[in-house]
Amino acid sequence: MASPKLGFGLLLSLVLIINLRKSDCAFNPTDNYLINCGSLIDTDVDGRVFVADNGSSWTLTAPKDAVANLTNSKSVSSLTGSSLYLDARVFTESSSYSFPIKQQGRHFIRLYFFPFDNQQFKLTTAQFSVSTQDNTLLSNFKPQPDSSTAFKEFSANINHDNLILSFIPGNNSVAFVNALEVISVPNNLILDSAKNVNSQQNYQGLSNQVLETVYRLNMGGPNLSPGDDDLWRTWGTDGGFLLDPDLAKNVSYTGAISYIDGVTSPEIAPRSVYSTATELASQSSTLSARFNVTWKLNVDNGFSYLVRMHFCDIVSKALNNLYFKAYLNSLSASNYVDLSSLSANALHTAVFLDFIVEVPSGSSNLAVSIGPSDTDGVVPDGILNGLEVMKMSSSGPGAVIDPVKKKGKIGAIVGAVLGILALLILAAVVFCCIRRRKKAKKQQSKTWLPFSINGGTSQSLASRTSNITTATSGKNGNLGYRFSFVVLQEATNNFDENWVIGVGGFGKVYKGTLRDETKVAVKRGNPKSQQGLNEFHTEIELLSRLRHRHLVSLIGYCDERNEMILVYEYMEKGTLKSHLYGSDLPNLNWEQRLEICIGSARGLHYLHTGSAKAIIHRDVKSANILLDENLMAKVADFGLSKTGPELDQTHVSTAVKGSFGYLDPEYFRRQQLTEKSDVYSFGVVLLEVLCARPVIDPTLPREMVNLAEWGMKWQKRGDLGQIIDARIAGTIKPDSLRKFAETVEKCLADFGVERPTMGDVLWNLEYALQLQEAESPDSEVNSINRIVELSSQVQNMNNPGSVAEGGMVNNSLNDLSDVSMSRVFSQLIKSEGR
């Protein structure tokens, strides 16, 4: 039963490995026609041979005497182009090349023109059209006699056995071409959908579009010729298009550039494009220095354009430092370009974003802008590594509107309506939050966002480090250990930027080593007011009471010189997220994954029930679950908020910073967080653990982008097994998977009251592990015994009997816990007002 699945998993990994290998070799197109039109000899250009126009593997169909070869009598030494422009094929009547197509799909069609005259033909006044059997590529095209050469590149999906390329002379004119290319390209080069910035809706159906390349720029770097690009593309420089060059600067990176398997590759764009960028010039730390960098491009009006922005974070020293906005013609393209999440948490990694923009008739400008984020605490910055602008043509002669396309349209409309709804809700929430935030700011300016902590297991550590720390006493007796600033300076190599292992709204997290070699994680808040410092103390005092082996331990703190620094135990193996995807870390098996889920569930359960006041984590995600050297899970970053406004503030930034896929949908409705919000987020983490993919992946087809939605779609069909991580798919026992999937589904219930408590979740996960470890059907009795045992271990569990049946909690009890939570909050708000 398990072996075919395992086999499939192996096959899949094998396919992945092969793909990986292939992307390292240069691309080798299946269809590859390069023709030196009108010439009787082959020509070598940049290592490629354009063959003589004698129709060996293709055919030219033309009326008798309608075709002539023409050789340029003018000196060509002055031409910037190449030997391809020496000869031309001239057509006095409609004529067609027919190329057999071995690999249906998208192809580049490149046409080279250079108009010259002789006694017989005047190419300088020629006017003609070029079309495929499906689309018109050029309509009444007139090569400009004053411009030396014209080069046109199109990409079109060819779903026939032949490509028929026709040259149709206009009235009293001839048609001609100097050289042409027909090349198959990888299928993932052009995706089917992209966001339309005019409607802010998702556009589907790009596969049916013929695209004409109008700009292809290598930002901040040199021109790239076809020989520098796996698909023989030409990249220009961007400097000439900058609206205000003083606002921009070149940046480049000489290290290795990575690609994301299956998403980017050298065929999307070469490394040399990603290794240079144009960056906002002034990164002055004064937040008032805000401006956009804009490239102004001339385009034909009345058309839509597919705009591809290539990005690669070559400027940041650490992840999560670079956030900015992108605009097309002053319309928001992306309000929050977050390269760390786009690249699945890796620097120097190639990513791209596609947008569609409509250029109205009456305007012939396309303005592409990068601008600073207005999120609090984000340094104004922004980069662009590469830009492609492709003109979309509407369907030409012979195009078929098939039913599939219509269905796609309905899907797009439904998707768009849902998308708008989501945007409106988000906008409303953000608006409310901003208003509340402003109000709060008037009352007091508080910049310190309290976060985490507990004293916990630092006992032994403390004695080891006692020579360099001062044990606090009296009022601060609970605060753990007070480090002197100098000690932490030394431990972190003077807060070396290269030692940053994380960044959050509060400041940065540095890796550090104390004098006795103890590794620590040092969180440094931005020092501000004395007021903040008091709260910092209260916070540590409160949190120091939380001690649990599944919560990351606080070792100490430093409040010298108005600093607000917290020192935690260092978690050797990093985040759970990094073990699931986007890294080369070894695969975790199902039992390990379950143990990690169970450990984190214990930590959260303790937060919710372990002290008199329930504590809501608010930002449960795989990046906040850390693993020690034995892969034991500990929950980190369980920030506490004292006031409503601040709660919202951290929330908004949380949401925007990419934890969006984890956010409780009920939060949108009620704008109130409960423990059940953590349960929802934890459900998303469980799915992430099962499927090993990002919770939001904008590069996937629409219905797959949001993992929670996608996972629930399959679970509702009873077939969640279809989308699980191929590396473990065959190893999960069906019973274990069923239990796990049910648990996920309950956690992701729309309403908080329908979701289980963390205690129930923990119990169900333990059960899933039991089912996985059960030797044979005989041991079922044993596992039931074990389960009874377990249920008594879980603290504060409401009703084990009802859990076993439905995993639901008693509603009245649950409501009670909500009441007690809101009481906690109002109490906190009150004390804040004093």
Q: Which spans of this chain sit near ligand NAG (rule: CB under 6 A)?
A: 220-222, 237, 239, 250, 290-292, 327, 330, 369, 371-372
CB 558 within 8 A of CB 492: no
For residues 585 and 106, give the distance between their C-alpha atoms in angstroms, rounded to a whole number.
Answer: 35
Minimum CB separation from ligand NAG for residue 269, in Å? Answer: 16
Enumerate the β-bridge partners of residue 27: none
Minimum CB separation from ligand NAG for residue 325, in Å? Answer: 7
Judge whether 230 counts as a catalytic residue. Answer: no
Of 275, 371, 284, 355, give the one whose Cα is nearest residue 323. 371
C-beta of 369 vs 743, nearer to ligand NAG: 369
CA distances from 706 to 195, 525, 606, 622, 678 (A): 16, 32, 29, 15, 18
C-beta of 329 vs 393, nearer to ligand NAG: 329
Q: At what angle do helices 758-773 and 734-747 cross, to 10 degrees?
A: 170
Choose, from 31, 134, 230, 619, the residue flagged as catalytic. Answer: 619
Minimum CB separation from ligand NAG for residue 195, in Å? Answer: 16
C-beta of 367 vs 429, nearer to ligand NAG: 367
Q: CB under 8 Å to 303, separation ≥6 — which residues?
A: 358, 359, 391, 392, 393
Minimum CB separation from ligand NAG for residue 296, in Å? Answer: 12
- The identity of residue 189, as a single letter, is L
Of 520, 46, 22, give the one whose Cα is nearest residue 266. 22
Minimum CB separation from ligand NAG for residue 732, in Å? Answer: 49
For residues 67 and 90, give the distance between their C-alpha atoms in angstroms, rounded to a whole number.
Answer: 6
- Alpha helical stretches, state H, 639-757: 644-654, 665-670, 675-691, 707-716, 734-747
Beta strands across the sheet bearing 128-131:
59-61, 95-100, 162-169, 128-131, 136-141
C-beta of 66 vs 251, nearer to ligand NAG: 251
CB 178 within 8 A of CB 88: yes
C-beta of 281 vs 828, nearer to ligand NAG: 281
For residues 448 and 699, give the distance between their C-alpha atoms in angstroms, rounded to a whole number.
Answer: 36
For residues 684 and 682, give the distance between their C-alpha atoms in angstroms, rounded to a whole number.
Answer: 5
Token readout for 519 is 């590794």
Assign residue 337 a region (left: φ > 0; alpha: ψ between -120 and 50; beta: otherwise). beta
C-beta of 237 vs 526, nearer to ligand NAG: 237
For residue 185, how many other CB atoms are within 10 A of its CB?
A: 21
Minimum CB separation from ligand NAG for residue 338, in Å? Answer: 18
C-beta of 276 vs 343, nearer to ligand NAG: 276
C-beta of 286 vs 473, nearer to ligand NAG: 286
C-beta of 366 vs 620, nearer to ligand NAG: 366
CB 533 within 8 A of CB 562: yes
Of 531, 616, 606, 538, give the one whose Cα is nearest residue 825. 616
Minimum CB separation from ligand NAG for residue 619, in Å? Answer: 28
For residues 155 and 229, give the distance between their C-alpha atoms in angstroms, rounded to a whole number.
Answer: 16
- 713 burial (CB, 10 Å; 0-12 / 13-18 / 19+) is middle
Of 305, 307, 386, give the one whose Cα is nearest residue 350. 386
C-beta of 155 vs 369, nearer to ligand NAG: 369
- 158 burial (CB, 10 Å; 0-12 / 13-18 / 19+) is buried
CB 89 within 8 A of CB 38: yes
User: Active-site residue numbers?
Assistant: 619
